[in-house]
Amino acid sequence: MTEQRTPPAVSAAPYLLILGYGNTLRRDDGAGCFLAQALARCWQARGLPVRLETGHQLVPEMALEIAAPAVAAVLFVDAAKGLSTWRLQPVCLESSMEGGGHTLSPAGLLAHARLFRNELPPAWLLTIPGRDFGHGEGLDSHTRLILRDVLEHALPLWQRIAGSTNGRLSLASQASGGVAFGGGME
């Protein structure tokens, strides 16, 4: 019996692709996944077009997700040691692809996506600081506070990312009303 795979169904309408990554069994290393999920819920609750993918690491197979024509922008979300606060920065395409391993950097993954799409969407990396990368589940209390702070800035983050898409993503929220920030972060 042969296994058959089909490409994931994607909407023709432009959307933000969020790629959250990290090992959720290594405490704060999983913060990127938790934050990506929370941002996706927040933006989707406001009617904003988002597609979420999470994983332990960035792998070459994700290049196909990035290369989908409807992807208007990509947001990588990760945790790292040595930062004092969170930061959002653009990701530039690497001139050559990383070779050998199955784990990629955001720039390396963009280089792989370039094989499938000539003009790549703008890409951003949202990095949050972590303190405890030991074995176990759950986040350090300081990391949880930083995640809450990022969520309080969810709409300005959306506006900054959407502003880089030449109008493919709306700058404004589609819905009014409050969004519960920080839910599911514990």
25-78 pLDDT, tens digit per residue, is: 899 999 999 999 999 999 999 999 999 999 999 999 999 999 999 999 999 999
Amino acid 92: pLDDT: 87
Q: How many CA atoms lie within 13 A of 148 on its CB side?
A: 13
Each domain of the chain, given as residue ranges in start order, spans 23-164
Distance CA(1)–CA(15), nearest Å, equals: 36
* Residue 135 CA: distances (Å) to CA of 66, 139, 177: 31, 11, 39
Amino acid 173: pLDDT: 52
Angle between helix axes 141-152 and 154-162 (nearest 10 degrees) is: 60
CATH superfamily of 23-164: HybD-like (3.40.50.1450)
Please state the φ and ψ torsions of residue 88, each to the nearest 5 degrees.
Answer: -120, 130
The average confidence (pLDDT) of the chain is 84
What is the rounded average pLDDT of the residues 117-137?
92
pTM for the structure as a whole: 0.84
Amino acid 98: pLDDT: 59
Assess whether pLDDT exceeds 50 at residue 151.
Answer: yes
Nearest 10 degrees: CA dihedral of 52, 181, 56, 53? Answer: 0
